[in-house]
Amino acid sequence: MLYYLTHGLFFYIAGIILAAAIGVYFVFKRLKNLEESRKETLSKRVAATFDVRFNKKIGRGKFKEQRLNSLESRFSITRRAILVLIAGTALIAVLTPIIGTYSPTLISVIVACVSVVIGIAARPFIENMICGLVLCFGKLAKIGDIVLVDGEYGTIEDVTLTHCILRRWDWLRYVVPNSLMMNKEFVNYSLIDNYRWVYVEFWIDNSQDLDIVEQIAKDSPNGSSYFSGNETPRFWVTELTPQAAKCMVVAWATTAADGWMLSIDIRKNLLRELHKHGIKTHLQNINIEEKQNELKQEKAIDNS
């Protein structure tokens, strides 16, 4: 009798494992076919819309690669979630005959205790897994996006079942749980497109020639390799005081990362050209006035 029970249990468990393996195979095969179909559709869509929506500096190949990586990450997370679900279901099915041999009261107590423990211990994992699926299929964040999360600025390098890996500007990796991405506001600089409007502010003395300053400001982005060139830079005077004017130069960058580098180049070119043309900034005049006042005070003290 024990022989038949042992062998029956063995074939039962083997059947469950085989059924789970077959289920995983067919589900993954179906997902693979769906992924290939989505990739083909995406390739056609890129070819049809790229020239209208994006600057040629990005390159069709790079743009297509970014979208394909995003698509692959979504299907990768889906596979992992389905695998966990099937494995959990198979484990429950395997334990069902064993559980049936014990007292119903004892089983109820064990199930209640296990449920509480699993609910507390597995809550972060389940929450992060669900948030990861929402992030990927909701297209809120994908591989290659430049984001600002909890004060950390960087590029999303990978999206896993439980967390996102953010590569900062200094190449340090910042691991962000998917639940944090869903429960807090974050800035996605690549959500709709990759363009970034860069502005640099500076002060000039009111006595300076504004036309020359405007020409210098508009020319300052042109020497940078990070300037997209799809629109002429703009120059604005945003504030006036009795001593100085606050100016702003605005230019387009192809990506958010290029925007940061473009702002650096604009500042360097501005400083170089302003000095070359002898244009004084408001800060320079203030320093001179302060120095003159200090000298007058020192002379007054000496005379007294």
Main-chain phi, psi angles of 86, to 5 degrees:
-65, -40
Domain 146-188 listed as CATH 2.30.30.60: yes
Per DSSP, helices labelled H in the chain are: 2-53, 60-99, 104-121, 123-137, 178-183, 210-219, 256-276, 282-303
Residue 287: predicted pLDDT: 52
Q: At the topology level of CATH, where does 196-287 sit?
A: Alpha-Beta Plaits (3.30.70)
Residue 47: predicted pLDDT: 56
Q: Splitting the chain (304 residues) into consecutive groups of 10 residues, what average pLDDT does each group show?
A: 55 78 83 76 56 49 67 73 79 70 64 70 76 77 83 83 83 87 83 83 89 93 86 91 89 85 92 88 56 63 64
Rounded Cα–Cα distance for residues 139 and 66 (Å): 13
Amino acid in the structure at residue 40: E
Residue 179: predicted pLDDT: 86
Q: Is the pTM of this model over 0.95?
A: no
Residue 283: predicted pLDDT: 58
Residue 64: predicted pLDDT: 67
Fold identical between 146-188 and 196-287?
A: no
Residue with token string 């580098």: 261
Q: So where are the chain's domains?
A: 2-101, 146-188, 196-287
Least Cα distance to 154 among 116, 186, 197 occurs for: 186
For 280, half-sphere exposure in the C-beta direction (CA atoms, 13 angstrom radius) is 14
